[in-house]
Chains A and B, each alone.
Chain A
Amino acid sequence: MAYTKSVPRIWRERIRKYRLLGGVCNDCGKVFYPSRRFCPRCGSGNVNKVTLPRTGKILYFTVIRNAPTEFKSFEPYILALIELDNGARILAQLTDIDLEEVYEGMPVEAVFRKYKEQGRDGVIEYGIKFRPRE
């Protein structure tokens, strides 16, 4: 049986999944995603929440051909490490793209899409993916 997240957990994670809400460190200047209490570079607690830019470029990518059951209908898909315009990095699924189109350095933009459906009668999970930017 496929692992499915509990509805309370999906609910707790919704803001982070729906919005590109990151953090910026007031001590070392690091911008990161998702937002958290302490800076991942210098450990400072002097961080602010910030809405990240919706555009960036692909640093690395990998093609997922044996997806977990709940992602089967989207398979094969591309998982990419993306650097946003302000330097923050985010790992996300690509969409609206064929496998042969993707390349390192490709400009991309954030979109709001369906992540997965917990069966025919379960909840639908939504979140950020990235697509090629013209």
Chain B
Amino acid sequence: MSINAAIVGYGVYLPVYRIKDVEIAKVWGRDVRRVPIKEKTVPGPDEDSLTMAFEASLNALRRAKIPPIEIEAVFVGSESPPYAVKPSATVIAEALGATPKLYAVDMEFACRAGTTAMGIVIGMVSSGIIKYGLAIGTDTAQGRPGDELDYTAAAGAAAYIFSNPGKDTIATVEGTYSYVTDTPDFWRREGETFPRHTFRFTGEPAYFTHIIGAAKGLMEKMGLKPSDFNHVVFHQPNVKFPLRVAKMLGFTMEQIKYGLLTGEIGNTYAAASPIGLANILDHAKPGERVLIVSFGSGSGSDAISFIVQDGIESRRHLAPYVEYYIKRKKYVNYSTYAKFRNLLKMR
């Protein structure tokens, strides 16, 4: 069966607060010249993955130009839900006005859950089960204070509305591919605040193997090569990994430039590659081919290819660009950051 789905709306959200990696390095006595990124987003004390998902979804609805009640599926991909048990999807849907005739569920697959939500909505739309579906990647990721992840773990959300391709479509889905194995490079046990990771695994057997597996798998299945794509976005836990995987696969800097944002905003986990895709859509022209490849620890990657359509021109200005959120910022120092992120034990 062929895919019959397209992006008809997309939106992102980033919190206003930032912390510079240099500020974190000073606190922990690390060489300030050897930090992985420039700065990262920090959620405000009243923000969580659910509230950010709502804001991104509202932006997606603005571009889709449909009443919220037409949304028939809300899938939320996140590794930082506010509750261990109780879905975020229901609150988001209720706040948007999409209840009660609705498929809704929370999904977890580390940084990959956002694109997996997209894949499932694409399937439901293609099969005709639903007309409009919303897929969200959202996270307020936390690293153990002073740990390598403390320098990159950031917060953000991206939301995509899919439907059957029509005349105002933003981008049609051309193909999807998923690549999954049991590779334990990163995990967080129930009740634990911070994740653990194995550095031996993070690079080769985890990130690179799965991204390359999904990207090559998709290109072979579709009969495409790297030069057929105008833009590509990879999951971006730092700046180094996506640059290296792009080179290994044969993509150029020109293809990766709009999708790579970690240096400015940090690793937004399940939102990372979807926010990169949004920035590509903010800049893309009709007819261009776009590839997104996510990665989630545990481990797996989704690859999805899109063809940008004419609808992008009349819709992209209907909600704030990724650039707007990147430039809208207020710096905080480490003590404010620690207070916002509840790193201080006050009880």
Q: Is the CB of B328 within 8 A of A126?
A: no
Q: Is the CB of B95 within 8 A of A112?
A: yes
Complex interface: chain A residues within 8 A of B330 (CB): 96
Q: Is the CB of A15 within 8 A of B46?
A: no
Complex interface: chain B residues within 8 A of A112 (CB): 51, 54-55, 95
A114 at the interface (CB under 8 A from B): yes
Among B45, B50, B83, B94, point to the contact of A15 (Cβ < 8 A): B94
Q: Is the CB of A126 within 8 A of B45?
A: no
Complex interface: chain A residues within 8 A of B205 (CB): none
Q: Is the CB of B47 within 8 A of A134?
A: no
Among B47, B83, B91, point to the contact of A113 (Cβ < 8 A): B47
Chain B residue with minimal CB distance to A131?
B16
Q: Is the CB of A14 within 8 A of B94?
A: yes
Q: Is the CB of B55 within 8 A of A114?
A: no
Q: Which of A51-87 contact B (CB under 8 A)?
A: 51, 73-74
Complex interface: chain A residues within 8 A of B51 (CB): 111-114, 126
Among B16, B48, B94, B328, point to the contact of A114 (Cβ < 8 A): B48
Complex interface: chain B residues within 8 A of A95 (CB): 44, 46
- Category for how many chain A residues contact B: 10 to 19
Chain B residue with minimal CB distance to A77?
B46
Max chain A CB contacts within 10 Å: which of B46, B47, B51, B94? B46
> Nearest chain B CB to A65's CB is how many angstroms away?
16
A36 at the interface (CB under 8 A from B): no
A19 at the interface (CB under 8 A from B): yes
Complex interface: chain B residues within 8 A of A38 (CB): none
Q: Which of B43-99 contact A (CB under 8 A)?
A: 44-48, 50-51, 54-55, 82-83, 91, 94-95, 97
Chain A residue with minimal CB distance to B57?
A112
- A113 and B13 CA atoms in complex are apart in Å by 13
A129 at the interface (CB under 8 A from B): yes
- A112 and B49 CA atoms in complex are apart in Å by 11
> Nearest chain A CB to B143's CB is how many angstroms away?
21
Complex interface: chain A residues within 8 A of B95 (CB): 18-19, 112, 126
Q: Is the CB of A114 within 8 A of B83?
A: no
- A115 and B44 CA atoms in complex are apart in Å by 12
Max chain A CB contacts within 10 Å: which of B44, B54, B82, B328? B44
Q: Which residues of A contact B (CB under 8 A)?
A: 14-15, 18-19, 51, 73-74, 95-96, 111-115, 124, 126, 129, 131, 134
> 8 A–B contact pairs at CB < 8 A?
A51-B97, A74-B45, A112-B51, A112-B55, A124-B82, A126-B51, A131-B16, A134-B328
Known: A19-B97, A112-B51, A112-B54. 14 other contacts (CB 8 A): A15-B94, A74-B46, A112-B95, A113-B44, A113-B47, A113-B51, A114-B46, A114-B47, A114-B51, A124-B82, A126-B51, A126-B95, A131-B16, A134-B328
